Amino acid sequence: MATGTDIAAVPGSAPGDGTDASLTSRQRARLPLATQRADRKLDAIASNSAAQLLVQASQRAATVVQCIAWLHKAATAWGEPLEAVSACRKGCAHCCHIPVTITGSEAKLIARASGRGVRTPPRGVRVQDLVDAESTSAATRQLQQWPAGVACPFLSDAMCSVYAARPLACRVLFNMDDDDLLCQHGDGEPAQVPYADARMLRALALAAQPAEVLADIRAFFPPGER
Ligand code: SF4
């Protein structure tokens, strides 16, 4: 399973407090170099047959939850060669403060691992709405509405407390630059980040659960509640 670069804005970045006006300009200046670095690193990574085998296993799963569990394994295998060369480091938690979209099946896996109860999201989006051309923009906007800067309820001491059960969104988000500059939450326009391209894994996961509801992880597990 090969991968390329997916240049995207940091999802849901919120306006900052205006105290670091230089951040946006430093991020803009960095992007061309970051993109070159990302392309170079991703070109050097061979096609990942282990991830491909796990994707095939997911397609033989008896239930949606089992299928998603296999796709999680596939995503982890896909990400292994990226870990060594990406900007992502243990203890760096920028991406745990931006919207994190998960499905009901993923919420069940996290609930099982954490012992927390799952809430029905008040404003979830149906998976089908994301593949329906007329609804996609509205659905995407709704999924990005959780205020940026609010930590994921499973972030503890800058570490993920449900690491083994973390959702696909957290397994596949790799900034392929050399450091976290572009992930930092700044004023104004969200930074563009050269992420490794995980669109195929995301599409497979959505196709496996068309009847599911998508929502931010904080809507399934409101911060401060158990
Ligand atoms: S599930 Fe874990 S990795 Fe994902 S946003 Fe929450 S704390 Fe971060």
- Interval 157-187: pLDDT, tens: 999 999 999 999 999 999 999 999 999 987 6
Higher pLDDT, 225 or 157: 157
Residue 15's pLDDT is: 46
Is residue 81 one of the residues assigned to a domain? yes
Q: In the prediction, which pLDDT does 134 show?
A: 67
In a domain, 62, yes or no: yes
Ligand 1 centre and the CA of 166: distance in Å? Answer: 6
The confidence score (pLDDT) of residue 125 equals 87
Q: Which residues contact 37 (CB under 8 A, 6 or more apart)?
A: 176, 177, 178, 194
Chain centroid to CA 16 = 21
Question: What would the mean pLDDT of 135-149 be, rounded to a whole number?
Answer: 71
Mean pLDDT score, 104-108: 94
**Any domain includes 166:** yes
Residues within a 6 A CB radius of ligand 1: 96, 100, 152, 154-155, 160, 162, 166, 170, 217
Please indicate, yes or no, if residue 162 is contained in any of the structural domains: yes
What are the Cα distances from residue 200, in Å, to 3, 69, 108, 206?
9, 16, 23, 10
Counting ligand 1 atoms within 8 A of each CB, the residue from 72, 156, 159, 162 with the most, and so the one to mutate, is: 162
- Does a structural domain hold residue 226? no
Contacts of 87 (CB under 8 A, 6+ apart): 175, 176, 177, 178, 179, 180, 182, 183
Instruction: Give the tens place of pLDDT for each residue, 44-82.
Output: 998 889 999 999 999 999 999 899 999 999 999 999 999
The arithmetic mean of pLDDT across residues 117-139, rounded, is 80
Residue 78 lies inside a defined structural domain of this protein: yes
Which residue among 83, 116, 170 has the greatest number of ligand 1 atoms within 8 angstroms of its CB, and so is best to mutate?
170
225 domain-assigned:
no
- What's the whole-model pTM score? 0.89
List the domain range (segments joined by +) for residue 149.
5-220
In a domain, 63, yes or no: yes
Take atom 5 of ligand 1 and give the residue whose Cα is closest.
96
Number of domains within the chain:
1
